[in-house]
A and B are shown apart, each in its own frame.
Chain A
Amino acid sequence: MNATTRRLLTIVTEAALEQLLVKDLEALGASGYTVTDARGKGSRGTRNAAWGESSNIRVEIVCDAATAEAIAAHLQARYYAHYAMILFVSDVAVLRPEKF
């Protein structure tokens, strides 16, 4: 297997932010993203996804290190203060690096 390393950026945040977030990601150079519905509990209480206001999303982006850094910095500056949001980065192996 001929694998190359890329960054996997995972964001868990409020579903209300999806449209804004997706626009930001594209502007910052993400070539793609995956959004899934999520629920859980954190410092801002239980988000049980019983209805729109209490649902979360998980957004995953595979990209190069520079893009991951730019996205992380932007999200931290723009959303951390007022929204329920966490973000973590990990290294992943991909087979077609030109895709990301």
Chain B
Amino acid sequence: MNAVDPVPLFFLLGLTAGLLRSELRLPAAVYELVSMLLLLSIGLKGGAELARQPFGDLAVQALAVMVMGMLLPLIAFPVLRRIGRLPRADAASIAAHYGSVSVATYAVAAAYFASRQVAFEAHMPLLLAVLEIPAILVGILLARGLSRDLRLGTMAHEIFLGKGIVLLVGGLLIGWAAGPEGLAPVEPLFFDLFKGILALFLLEMGLITAAQFGSLRRHGLFLVAFGIAMPLFSSLIGATLGLALGLSLGGTAMLATLAASASYIAVPAAMRISVPEANPTLSLAVSLGVTFPFNILIGIPLYHALATRLFALTGGPSP
């Protein structure tokens, strides 16, 4: 049988240590470095494959995924507003988190699929980068409307020059320019060490997640239910889109995972500046405290099964 995958166990270790109030803590600089390495590895890996793809296909996929990124917050917003009875700014901010993506969830899924020899399209990191941004714009518009002063310059700076986007897109460009052979010398750092780096990152994520549980307890059941129901619903949309775009089984499962994941770095930073009246504790509690652990512990295998099921039902991607 399969050996136990150690990567999620590091997350559980961090989570347990955090809940037991252990003194364990990754130094801030180490956390920064580890997340930089993850973003660059993912970017490089995708970039190296970009040159081999026909541009037309890529553009169609990127566009379709962008539309999905705008659609998801539009679906989440009324639910948060009506059923959750949240103030407008909070509902808009949480909706934006769920339209955008979590790179960490992507990384865990990539490791999961790799260890099961499930192949997925190598240019997935491009779709990951594309999905980060549209939801932020939709979230800001939902919160403020078009009329009020939007401070467009600051907003654009915050969105397009955030650390995550710069590293991810930078990695894609370097990978694309260097190609697979060119990247060989840096492979030991970025590719061979990927799982170890991911493990260290997840240890800290566990600690951060544990810190969200307190605020979750204060904000009640609705957020917990939303944090589980929303990714399940989004994964259906993602998987359907993957199938429609003619992605492979692994690619469809990955797109379902991307749709299901919720941002906790790019979106909170942008929302803090552009929608200051939204309570950041609320959106982080649900995206980090509920959805992130749900996705990496239960969601990814589930979305994999969902894609497998869809492929069995429809006989694979339409030609």
Contacts and interface: CB of A to CB of B under 8 A. Distances in A.
A binds B: yes
Interface of A: 14, 16-17, 20, 37, 45, 48-55, 79, 81-83
A53 B215 CA distance: 15
11 contacts: A16-B273, A17-B272, A17-B273, A20-B273, A45-B281, A50-B26, A50-B204, A51-B28, A51-B208, A52-B265, A55-B28
B276 A82 contact: yes
A14 B25 CA distance: 20
Contacts of B208: 50-51
Interface in B278-312: 280-281, 284
Contacts, number: 41
Going nearest first, the 9 A-B pairs with the smallest beta carbon separation are A82-B276, A16-B272, A82-B277, A53-B268, A51-B31, A51-B208, A49-B28, A16-B269, A50-B25
Contacts of B269: 16, 52-53
Contacts of B31: 50-51
A52 B270 CA distance: 13
Chain B binding site: helix, strand, loop or mixed by DSSP? helix
B280 A53 contact: yes
A27 to B, nearest CB: 14
A79 B26 CA distance: 31
B207 interface: yes
Contacts of B284: 53
Nearest to B280: A53
Contacts of B264: 53
B120 to A, nearest CB: 29
Interface of B: 25-26, 28, 31, 154, 204, 207-208, 211, 215, 264-265, 268-269, 272-273, 276-277, 280-281, 284
A54 B268 CA distance: 11
A44 B207 CA distance: 20
Contact of A20 (B25, B154, B204, B280): B154
Nearest to A49: B28
A50 B277 contact: no
A14 B272 contact: yes
A45 B279 CA distance: 13
A72 to B, nearest CB: 19
B214 to A, nearest CB: 9
Nearest to B31: A51
Given A50-B207, A51-B208, A52-B265, A83 B25 contact: no
A48 B31 CA distance: 14
Contacts of A37: 28
B18 to A, nearest CB: 10
A28 to B, nearest CB: 17
Nearest to B272: A16
A83 B28 contact: no
B117 to A, nearest CB: 34
B273 to A, nearest CB: 7
A51 B277 CA distance: 22
A20 B281 CA distance: 21
A40 to B, nearest CB: 15
Contacts of A54: 211
